[in-house]
Structure 1
Amino acid sequence: MNKKLVSTNVVEYMVNKFAALGLLVFLMCSYLLLATKFDLYEFTENLSNLKIWGLICGYALVTTMLIDLIENKWIAFTFQTSVLLHCLAGFIVFFPFMGINFFSVIAGAVGALCAFIYAFSSYLFHRKKKFAWVILLVFPLLLSVRLYDFTSKKDWTIKETNSSFSAEFEYFNGKHEILLPLKKGEKVTSYLSFTQLNEGGYGYHILDHNKEYVGMKELAESEEEGTQAIQFHAIQSGVYKIIVTGDDLKGKIDVNWEID
């Protein structure tokens, strides 16, 4: 067979698979937007979990390629059989991790639906090749969106020292980073207090210089009521971040820390 023809077929095959994946990701992101009530900060935070998205996309690509390999090398499938195998793969993937229970069955049903959308999209783009190239734009679009910080703050007033941070606000939806340059082995004890003046939510976490979550130890509450004490160690030297988050929150945040 002509090498150029083989190369063209391979490119068309990969474009088809990635386009089908792009449409599936687009539909999943549309659902996320609806589920978060168009909260763009929460939406981009969900997009930023690249490990989860990588597992979803990787599993979809590997599974569909294996099914196509079996079909081309050994058994000729009908379209209906191919779709059924995709759905089966989407259904059973959760059982090894979650066991067989109500929640894994629900997750499997969602997985099967996603697999059906993927298989049908691949069939659609095989017939409408020009649309496949357009759908590929989903990936760079989502990558660019997730880089933008949609944090919203109103009447945000802060006070900072070398060992404390305080903010009062009428509205806070998103995140605020408190930077801590640390040396390897240093221990940080931090005291966080959230004053909640409405029904908004709040939270916090620690990231290291590689943007990885840092394990922290929750200590008993301090003498000041409502103050949470946490402790963590710097495994390597670098700039660590205490990140406080708000979900349509009105009130005040106080953070104090000691470095040993």
Structure 2
Amino acid sequence: MLKQNLIKAFLYLTTKLAGAGFLYLVMSGYLLISTGFDLYEFVEEISHGFLWFVVYVYGILCSIIIDLLTYKVSKKQFSVKILLYVVAGYAFFIVREINVIMLIAGTVGALCSIIFYVGAYNSFRFQSFKYAVIIAPLFIIMLMNFDFTEKEQWVEVRSDNTYIATFEYFNGKHEIPFHVKEGQTITVFHEFKNSNGGGHGSHFLNEKNDLVGMTEVSEKKVKIEIQDSGVYSMVVTGDDVKGSFIVTWEIDEDG
């Protein structure tokens, strides 16, 4: 009896994973098209932990709760479930604040909830579909381990406290590491020259790849107070851009 219950629980869970996997694949397809099949931008977007939480944690948890709520509803169960999935999609956003933006986001959430339900429902009917949509997201996870940055005619010059790069094409990211100690302060000057109107930006990460807070000294200069010793990185990003950038930095040894 225990073995049978475990098998039933496993099969039930696979339907929820199928629903989440189907939704994740649909979202991946949308992001791939909306980014113009730019693999670097696609991987950056699809890697956000927020998406994983919404799909695989919030989505599965709500689906299980809905099943419990409709367990004894025999008549019109389909309609009731659809309604509850729509409510769950809106609830994630409007519980924080009700405004136009949240209502739009809630509508998107409701649509995603229905897609989740379609995936879970079809997994009951088609075993091949079930395991395909469970396994397929693993290939997207594999893509996250690759850097799809593209550089053309990239020329760089680096000294102890300066980094200069010129390029004909840059789409992706480039990291400039700094070896710093706890209590030190690093002041960074950065200037980006754009020759073709492409996009660009920058941010700072610590060794755990967490974003690091910084104080803006001026338009092109920021200051970072180091909390933990290690290698910090300035990440310069480019979006189909041609040009050059220069980064210089000073480290306050006195902390």
TM-score of Structure 1 vs Structure 2, range by shorter chain: over 0.9
Query: Structure 2 length normalisation: TM-score?
Result: 0.95
What is the correspondence of 1:103-252 to structure 2 with a 5 Å cutoff?
103-221=101-219, 228-252=220-244
Distance in 1 between the 2:54 and 2:25 partners?
16
Deviation at 1:129, TM superposition (A): 2.2
What is the correspondence of 1:62-141 to structure 2 with a 5 Å cutoff?
62-72=61-71, 75-76=73-74, 78-97=77-96, 99-141=97-139
Residue aligned with 1:136, SS: helix
What is the correspondence of 1:6-85 to structure 2 with a 5 Å cutoff?
6-72=5-71, 75-76=73-74, 78-85=77-84
Please tell me whether the aligned partners of residues 20 and 56 of structure 2 are also in contact (alpha carbons under 8 angstroms).
yes
Identity of aligned residues (%): 36
Please tell me whether the aligned partners of residues 16 and 129 of structure 1 are also in contact (alpha carbons under 8 angstroms).
no
Distance in 1 between the 2:190 and 2:63 partners?
48
Distance in 1 between the 2:203 and 2:58 partners?
29
Runs of 4+ off more than 6 Å: none
Measured on the aligned residues, the alpha-carbon RMSD in Å equals 1.3
Residue aligned with 1:239, SS: strand
Distance in 2 between the 1:20 and 1:119 partners?
6
Distance in 2 between the 1:158 and 1:6 partners?
62
Number of equivalent positions: 251
Deviation at 1:75, TM superposition (A): 4.4
Distance in 1 between the 2:178 and 2:239 partners?
24
Gaps of 5+ in 2: none
Please tell me whether the aligned partners of residues 87 and 116 of structure 1 are also in contact (alpha carbons under 8 angstroms).
yes
Distance in 2 between the 1:52 and 1:256 partners?
36
Please tell me whether the aligned partners of residues 24 and 55 of structure 2 are also in contact (alpha carbons under 8 angstroms).
no
Deviation at 1:162, TM superposition (A): 1.3
